[in-house]
């Protein structure tokens, strides 16, 4: 559906009643929880049968239809069909753009409004992972540039969740205008999130002591073919989780790689060898909540392009022991060793909730690969394999909830 429309103005109720929001009815769609479906997929649940049941279920109104479509959006993506998932999402947003969490909450629960952008799993902070199980009512508002906001329920605090990308700039600009007079606190303001782009991050962290951020330069296909400095790391603009990522050592590598790419613009960075003394590559994920850093995971692999999903952690007791040591000693180990750098990064980014993927260089400095608000933090790892993971993850979830509650006042 088209989103090319005039810029939206602030809703009438917010202009005339700065202290509150227009009351809405209970007719807000409640899809199957994003985190519940991920857990089902992680545990080997039958998503295909669930999809068929959701499709076959009779629906008498647009509220039920929108909830089903948004559930199917997640199910289809988990089944590997992103195009169908996003088509279901577009259909859902064509009916309703405000959704409510499905988990139980008390009458006095904290009411949180999440500003979201339509898109795949990498688009927004996976806030359901952080809040599921807390005494919270989560309202998810999908913002479409050029379309006015629907009536909004009362809420105690709001948070912007769309990760930085070229595609989300219109959403960031629209929400940035709206929240100037928002009648409750808004966290992770888009005018700060926008500075997390791959090309801007090196400038943002240029003066942070003990930190290296490889310069990322946008290049067209023609410019990339003219590159003379190797080795380099190249990826399509807007790619995440390693899509299209490659290390290119020669001009011939560039030509062969470009033949496989459909994009027109790329980020190009110098390759930095960040191997540890044992020859392994270690990549860390750290998040800050109100300026305090928390460890999420450490991925260890023989390859430079390491993510948790390709590191084979589940197959190696040694790797898991190494990760457990990193997490369990974080406050007196990694965080103490890099205390000045971590504190400076938090100040530099200026966000209430944000994360980085990073590594330690042989000279002791941190190399930061990415900073964003949409990095995945979850508690889905099987406890029989990762018995050390759940408690630290729950600590993060509690800290996130307490931060929202504290700042809502």
Domains of the chain: 12-188 (no CATH), 215-270 (3.30.1490.20), 281-408 (3.30.470)
The Cβ of residue 287 has, within 10 Å, a number of other Cβ atoms equal to 20
Q: Helices 62-78 & 34-42, crossing angle to 10 degrees?
A: 30
* Model pLDDT for residues 301-344, shown as the tens digit of each residue: 999 999 898 999 999 999 999 999 999 999 999 999 999 999 99
Instruction: Tell me which residues of the chain have a pLDDT lower than 50.
Output: 1-25
Q: Say if CB 281 and CB 304 are below 8 A apart.
A: yes
How far apart, in whole angstroms, are the C-alpha atoms of residue 112 and residue 125? 14
Q: Give the Cα separation of 295 and 354 in Å (integer).
A: 12
Nearest-angstrom CA–CA distance, 396 and 389: 11
d(C-alpha 117, C-alpha 142), whole Å: 5
Q: Where are the alpha helices (DSSP H) in 209-300?
A: 221-225, 251-258
pLDDT at position 59 = 86
* Residues listed for the chain: 409
pTM recorded for the entire structure? 0.91
Q: What's the pLDDT score for residue 14?
A: 24
Name the nearest CA neighbour of 74 among 116, 104, 32. Answer: 32
Task: Quote the Cα angle for 350-356-362, to 5°.
Answer: 120
What is the model's pLDDT at position 7?
27
Is residue 379 within 8 A of residue 390, CB to CB? The reply is yes
Give the pLDDT confidence score for residue 6 in this predicted structure.
25
Rounded CA separation 278/262 (Å): 38
Nearest to 86 by CA among 118, 41, 52: 118
């Amino acid at each position: 559906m088209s989103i090319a429309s005039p810029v939206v103005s602030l809703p009438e109720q917010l202009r005339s009643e700065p202290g509150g929001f227009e009351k809405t009815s209970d007719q807000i769609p409640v899809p199957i929880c994003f985190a519940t479906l991920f857990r089902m997929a992680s545990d080997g649940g039958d998503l295909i049968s669930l999809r068929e049941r959701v499709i076959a279920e009779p629906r008498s109104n647009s509220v039920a239809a929108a909830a089903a479509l948004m559930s199917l959006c997640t199910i289809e993506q988990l089944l590997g069909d992103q195009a169908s998932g996003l088509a279901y999402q577009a259909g859902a947003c064509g009916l309703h753009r405000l959704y409510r969490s499905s988990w139980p909450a008390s009458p006095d629960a904290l009411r949180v409004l999440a500003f979201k952008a339509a898109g795949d799993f990498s688009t927004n902070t996976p806030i359901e992972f952080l809040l599921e199980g807390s005494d919270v009512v989560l309202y998810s508002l999908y913002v479409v540039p050029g379309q006015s906001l629907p009536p909004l329920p009362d809420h105690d605090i709001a948070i912007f969740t769309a990760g930085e990308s070229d595609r989300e700039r219109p959403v960031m600009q629209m929400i940035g205008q709206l929240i100037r007079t928002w009648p409750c606190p808004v966290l992770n303001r888009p005018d700060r999130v926008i500075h997390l782009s791959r090309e801007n991050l090196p400038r943002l962290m240029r003066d942070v002591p003990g930190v290296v951020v490889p310069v990322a330069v946008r290049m067209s296909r023609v410019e990339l073919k003219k590159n003379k400095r190797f080795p380099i790391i190249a990826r399509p603009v807007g790619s995440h989780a390693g899509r299209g990522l490659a290390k290119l050592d020669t001009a011939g590598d560039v030509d062969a790689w470009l033949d496989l790419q459909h994009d027109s613009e790329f980020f190009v960075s110098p390759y930095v060898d960040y191997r540890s003394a044992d020859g392994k590559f270690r990549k860390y994920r750290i998040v800050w909540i109100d300026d305090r850093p928390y460890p999420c995971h450490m991925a260890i692999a023989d390859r430079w392009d390491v993510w948790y999903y390709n590191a084979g952690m589940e197959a190696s007791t040694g790797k898991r022991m190494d990760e457990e040591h990193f997490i369990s000693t974080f406050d007196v180990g990694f965080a103490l060793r890099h205390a000045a750098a971590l504190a400076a990064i938090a100040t530099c980014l200026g966000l209430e909730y944000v994360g980085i993927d990073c590594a330690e260089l042989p000279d002791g400095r941190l190399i930061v690969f990415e900073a964003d608000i949409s990095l995945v933090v979850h508690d889905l790892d099987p406890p029989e394999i990762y018995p050390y993971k759940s408690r630290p993850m729950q600590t993060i979830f509690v800290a996130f909830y307490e931060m929202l509650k504290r700042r809502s006042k």
